[in-house]
């Protein structure tokens, strides 16, 4: 398609418009609507034909200017009061994206008369009826000054004001009265806008690297660019352009980079507005795939088109974050410290501190001493009083990062500096993030460059790989701070007993470094990690240890969430993989920090308790000796004995328990703790409770547990699953044992839809009552919910996968299901089980973003494993019928 320019297209013919209006003066509204529609369509067609981003943004503003001027001149031609029509905000800058609001101010010298008020109302109504998205204010000059004095937002809008038509002297009076010499001097303005930016960044978690970023408000977004422009305008009376470069605040290269980044974000924003037909600044999942296609990306072997597009976006905003920091530092020095220059405090021959910011002592520091590109970050760790890096030094770092080459990386000085940086007692997270922002981390570890800005197109990973990695290290560091020990008491206690915490940090830094290369990223990353450690002076044993952690970093989470950790054989196999308490301690910490840094919604008390339970059981197995595995019969007997002691304190005699427990299988005592058995037994021995016996409680660990004892029924699990789903609950864990006299002992751990545990007593009563009602009518199964998937889920296609395994010696079949996580999934699975007369003995329910990862331990109706192909195929086809 041949590119065109908007200069070659006539968007609005003023003469023709006025001629038509003169012939039909009562048709102003219809003429405006027709003109606006045709003009907007012409601009859109020009964009689709290749008109430049800048042309689109500025032409639309110019087009709307003409529309408003004509409408104003017609409407206020006989007005007796002075009125000025003023464009403010982004429109005042002469920038209008396809669906951006058109911000206006109607300025008057004095309070409007009734006649003028009527004209104002009619004018605004005309614009709204013309389908223009108008944001407006009507103020007198005095009101304007008062509002601007009180509100930083108002004065910011007015700074960018532009007279469209009307009383020019009135406009000039407003500009003069709200200038920096009258209100909001540049120092106060800068402080207020800096605080405003800090608050906005905090709202977005101080990261631009979210799954659905807001290209305007996120850190590194268009608002950060505007922030620089506002400060420049207030202090210098200029905008971000060649004038700012003239003030020596931007080099020509930086100015070019800044303009390229802004144009790229503008282009995305234009696409967003046209795709949605509205003012939309969020890159939602349902738009990202189309955006990637519109920008010309295609799927590759190891990199989807959408991931390539988003990586380009994230790297763009990272560049803008760097420039934002540089310019704000320059402004800080120019505006805040001009009259408060302190004597530099010398740190060493290369660096000194000026006004709390570290600075290079001359411009050739990094040429003469390349290792100082790492040294500066170590100094900041050692000197917590330093607030940041001096702007000119940021520029020098960026200009000289190319010096980090193979020779630099082979230097023993550089290697020692990097190890020193990662082993400090404070500031490690801050400086690693700064190193990433300045491009130093990617330069020093080339493999890290591949994951900078890299996203994974799923709902499980909420951040880019590099940001996730740094969050993992942050979580590790947080465990070392006594003030945060209450957040994760077990993990904090373990951390403080680590012999070499730096090995954990290195594992955290490398655990996902091979993402996107193809193949198993854990195995590939383990090779990188071990090689890096060996090259950085770590012993062969420690290097292998870090490599092992990287290679196994997914294991503990998988075992905890998808295997039956009440089974001694599962625990023994996992403990064998660990081999020692040191391996277990470090892997537990890495796993916990990894999950917590993957997605804030993925970590909850349920997962915390699961990991802790697996940790304690594996630790006990290791301490008991890996050459002496604990037998199932021993676990069963130990649980009986402990539960008997607990119940004896409540006055329950052993004879009663022997009679109650006689039909209970060993698996029941293996699957439950003594405290659970004690609670269940109290319920079952209560003569006032009729069948089905149902109780719920909040455990000491904050989990919601439901106990159900009823006659065995093929439909029971389907009824329970559909009822809980109707109540908005998810089953996180299910233990189902069948007694010799054909009763089902059901124990469920449930979570609310948001991942939290129900904690209110009324909620537990509601659950119990609903289950009682449904189970007393077993023939009336609730149909699973057909609720549509959420907006985000519907953009991900998950292939349903079904796999069967046979547990040797356990006489049980393990069914593994991977499917799209959605409402009613478990109820549908339960319906398939009922249809095939399948008994569930245990279930582990887990989710990873848009995926459900469910394991069921099952038998046929005669409590035998499913061994023949016919039975397995029948169950598989039935499951697919309900799940697809």
Task: Report pLDDT digits (tens) over 209-224.
Answer: 677 889 999 888 999 9
Regarding beta strands 743-752 and 345-346, do their DSSP bridges make them parallel or antiparallel, or are they unpaired? unpaired
Residue 151 banded pLDDT, cuts 50, 70, 90: very high
Nearest Cα residue to 750 out of 604, 879, 882:
604
Q: Of 183, 200, 232, at which residue does a domain stop?
A: 183
Nearest Cα residue to 768 out of 719, 715, 724, 722:
724
Task: Report pLDDT digits (tens) over 764-782.
Answer: 999 999 999 988 876 655 5
- Checking if the pLDDT of 791 tops 50, the result is no
Instruction: Average the pLDDT over each of 401-410, 570-579, 867-876 and give the range with the smallest value.
Output: 867-876
- pTM for the whole thing? 0.82
pLDDT (mean) for 10-30:
82
pLDDT (mean) for 815-821:
86
- Do 289 and 372 lie in one domain? The reply is no
Q: Residue 706: its pLDDT value, please?
A: 94
- Do 134 and 219 lie in one domain? The reply is no
Q: Of 416, 433, 450, at which residue does a domain stop?
A: 433
- Checking if the pLDDT of 77 tops 70, the result is yes
- Do 24 and 160 lie in one domain? The reply is yes
Number of domains in the chain: 5
* Assigned domain for 458 exists: no
Per cent of the chain over pLDDT 70 is 94
- Do 849 and 718 lie in one domain? The reply is yes
pLDDT (mean) for 169-189:
92
Q: Residue 420: its pLDDT value, please?
A: 96
* Assigned domain for 417 exists: yes
Residue 626 banded pLDDT, cuts 50, 70, 90: confident
Q: Residue 333: its pLDDT value, please?
A: 81
Q: Which domain holds residue 753?
A: 690-883
Q: Residue 457: its pLDDT value, please?
A: 65
* Assigned domain for 655 exists: no
- Do 172 and 247 lie in one domain? The reply is no
* Assigned domain for 101 exists: yes
In the numeric block, the tokens 């095939």 are attached to: 836
Q: Is 43 exposed, middle or buried (0-12, 13-18, 19+ CB in 10 A)?
A: buried
- Do 192 and 325 lie in one domain? The reply is yes
- Do 774 and 867 lie in one domain? The reply is yes
- Do 306 and 416 lie in one domain? The reply is no
Q: What is the DSSP letter of 783?
A: P
Nearest Cα residue to 855 out of 814, 807, 796, 819:
814
- Checking if the pLDDT of 91 tops 90, the result is yes
- Do 704 and 845 lie in one domain? The reply is yes
* Assigned domain for 577 exists: yes
Q: Residue 3: its pLDDT value, please?
A: 52
- Checking if the pLDDT of 204 tops 80, the result is no
Task: Report pLDDT digits (tens) over 249-271.
Answer: 778 888 888 889 999 999 999 99
- Checking if the pLDDT of 362 tops 70, the result is yes
pLDDT (mean) for 273-285:
91
Task: Report pLDDT digits (tens) over 532-566.
Answer: 999 999 999 999 999 999 999 999 999 998 888 88
- Do 162 and 31 lie in one domain? The reply is yes
Q: Residue 802: its pLDDT value, please?
A: 92
- Checking if the pLDDT of 824 tops 80, the result is no
- Do 177 and 190 lie in one domain? The reply is no
Beta bridge partners of 696: 706
- Checking if the pLDDT of 15 tops 90, the result is no
Which positions ≥6 away from 440 have C-beta within 8 Å?
Answer: 373, 374, 377, 397, 401, 404
- Checking if the pLDDT of 796 tops 70, the result is no
Beta bridge partners of 854: 817, 845
Q: Residue 28: its pLDDT value, please?
A: 86
Q: Residue 178: its pLDDT value, please?
A: 92
Query: How much is the mean pLDDT over the chain?
Result: 88
**Rounded Cα distance, 177 and 352, in Å:** 42
Q: Residue 811: its pLDDT value, please?
A: 80
pLDDT (mean) for 471-482:
94
- Checking if the pLDDT of 751 tops 90, the result is no
**Rounded Cα distance, 361 and 347, in Å:** 10
- Do 485 and 597 lie in one domain? The reply is yes
Q: Residue 1: its pLDDT value, please?
A: 39
- Checking if the pLDDT of 145 tops 90, the result is yes
User: CATH number for the domain including 349?
Assistant: 1.10.110
pLDDT (mean) for 699-721:
86
* Assigned domain for 444 exists: no
User: CATH number for the domain including 283?
Assistant: 1.20.120.330
Q: Residue 13: its pLDDT value, please?
A: 81
* Assigned domain for 631 exists: no
* Assigned domain for 566 exists: yes
Q: Of 624, 647, 670, at which residue does a domain stop?
A: 624
pLDDT (mean) for 483-510:
94
Task: Report pLDDT digits (tens) over 294-309.
Answer: 999 998 877 889 989 9
Q: Residue 19: its pLDDT value, please?
A: 84
């Amino acid at each position: 398609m041949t590119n065109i320019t908007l200069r070659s297209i006539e968007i609005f013919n003023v003469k023709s418009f006025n001629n038509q209006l003169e012939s039909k003066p009562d048709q102003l509204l219809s003429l405006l609507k027709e003109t606006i529609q045709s003009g907007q369509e012409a601009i859109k067609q020009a964009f689709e034909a290749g008109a430049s981003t800048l042309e689109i943004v500025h032409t639309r503003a110019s087009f709307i200017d003409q529309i408003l001027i004509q409408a104003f001149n017609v409407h206020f031609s006989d007005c007796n009061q002075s009125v000025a029509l003023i464009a403010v905000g982004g429109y005042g800058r002469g920038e209008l994206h396809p669906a951006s609001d058109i911000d206006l101010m109607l300025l008057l010298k004095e309070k409007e008369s009734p006649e003028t008020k009527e004209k104002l109302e009619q004018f605004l109504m005309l614009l709204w009826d013309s389908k223009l998205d108008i944001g407006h204010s009507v103020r007198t000059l005095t009101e304007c000054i008062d509002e601007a004095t009180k509100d930083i937002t108002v004065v910011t809008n007015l700074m960018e004001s532009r007279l469209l038509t009307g009383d020019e002297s009135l406009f000039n009076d407003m500009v003069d009265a709200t200038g920096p010499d009258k209100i909001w001097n540049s120092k106060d303005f800068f402080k207020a806008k800096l605080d405003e930016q800090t608050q906005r960044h905090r709202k977005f978690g101080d990261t631009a690297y979210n799954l659905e970023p807001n290209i305007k408000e996120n850190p590194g977004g268009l608002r950060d660019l505007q922030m620089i422009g506002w400060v420049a305008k207030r202090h210098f009376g200029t905008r971000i352009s060649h004038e700012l470069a003239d003030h020596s605040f931007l080099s020509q290269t930086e100015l070019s980079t800044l303009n390229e980044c802004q144009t790229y974000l503008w282009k995305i924003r234009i696409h967003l507005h046209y795709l949605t037909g509205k003012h939309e600044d969020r890159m939602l999942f349902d738009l990202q795939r189309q955006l990637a296609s519109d920008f010309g990306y295609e799927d590759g072997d190891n990199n989807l088109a959408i991931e390539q597009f988003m990586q380009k976006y994230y790297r763009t905003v990272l560049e803008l974050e760097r420039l934002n920091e540089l310019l704000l530092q320059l402004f800080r020095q120019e505006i805040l410290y001009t009259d408060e220059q302190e004597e530099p405090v010398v740190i060493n021959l290369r660096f000194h501190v000026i006004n709390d910011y570290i600075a290079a002592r001359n411009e050739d520091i990094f040429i003469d001493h390349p290792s100082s590109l790492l040294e500066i970050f170590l100094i900041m760790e050692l000197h917590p009083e330093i607030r940041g890096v001096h702007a000119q030094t940021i520029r020098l770092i960026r200009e000289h990062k190319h010096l980090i080459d193979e020779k630099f990386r082979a230097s023993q000085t550089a290697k020692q500096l990097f190890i020193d940086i990662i082993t400090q007692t404070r500031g490690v997270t801050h400086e690693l993030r700064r190193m990433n922002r300045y491009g130093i981390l990617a330069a020093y570890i080339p493999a890290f460059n591949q994951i900078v800005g890299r996203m994974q197109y799923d709902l499980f990973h909420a951040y880019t790989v590099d940001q996730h990695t740094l969050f993992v290290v942050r979580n590790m560091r947080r465990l070392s701070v006594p003030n945060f020990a209450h957040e994760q008491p077990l993990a904090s206690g373990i951390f403080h007993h680590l012999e070499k915490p730096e090995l954990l940090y290195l594992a955290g830094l490398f655990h996902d470094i091979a993402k996107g290369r193809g193949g198993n990223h854990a195995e590939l990353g383990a090779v990188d990690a071990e090689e890096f450690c060996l090259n950085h002076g770590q012993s062969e044993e420690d290097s292998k240890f870090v490599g092992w952690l990287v290679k196994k970093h997914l294991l503990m989470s998988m075992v905890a969430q998808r295997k039956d950790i009440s089974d001694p054989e599962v625990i023994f196999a996992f403990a064998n993989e660990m081999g020692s308490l040191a391996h277990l301690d470090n892997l537990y910490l890495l796993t916990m920090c990894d999950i917590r840094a993957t997605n804030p919604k993925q970590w909850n008390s349920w997962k915390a308790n699961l990991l802790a339970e697996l940790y304690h059981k594996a630790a006990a197995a290791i301490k008991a000796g890996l050459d002496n595995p604990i037998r199932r019969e021993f676990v069963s007997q130990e649980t009986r004995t402990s539960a008997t002691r607990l119940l004896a304190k409540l006055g329950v005699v052993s004879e009663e328990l022997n009679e109650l427990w006689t039909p209970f299988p060993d698996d029941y005592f293996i699957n439950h703790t003594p405290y659970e058995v004690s609670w269940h037994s109290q319920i079952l021995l209560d003569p006032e409770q009729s069948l089905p016996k149902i109780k719920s409680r909040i455990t000491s660990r904050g989990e919601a547990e439901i106990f159900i004892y009823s006659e065995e029924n093929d439909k029971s699990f389907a009824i329970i699953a559909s009822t809980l789903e109707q109540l908005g609950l998810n089953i996180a864990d299910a233990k189902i044992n069948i007694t010799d006299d054909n009763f089902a002992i059901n124990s469920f751990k449930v979570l609310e839809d948001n991942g939290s545990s129900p904690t209110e007593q009324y909620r537990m009563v509601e659950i119990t009552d609903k289950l009682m009602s449904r189970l007393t009518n077993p023939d009336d199964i609730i149909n699973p919910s057909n609720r549509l998937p959420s907006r985000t889920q519907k953009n991900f296609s998950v292939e349903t996968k079904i796999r069967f395994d046979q547990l040797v010696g356990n006489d049980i079949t393990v069914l593994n299901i991977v499917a799209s996580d959605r409402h009613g999934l478990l109820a549908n699975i339960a319906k398939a089980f009922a249809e095939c007369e399948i008994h569930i003995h245990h279930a582990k329910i887990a989710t990873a973003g848009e995926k459900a990862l469910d394991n069921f331990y099952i038998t046929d109706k005669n409590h035998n494993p499913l061994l023949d192909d016919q039975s397995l195929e029948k169950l598989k086809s039935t499951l697919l019928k309900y799940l697809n």
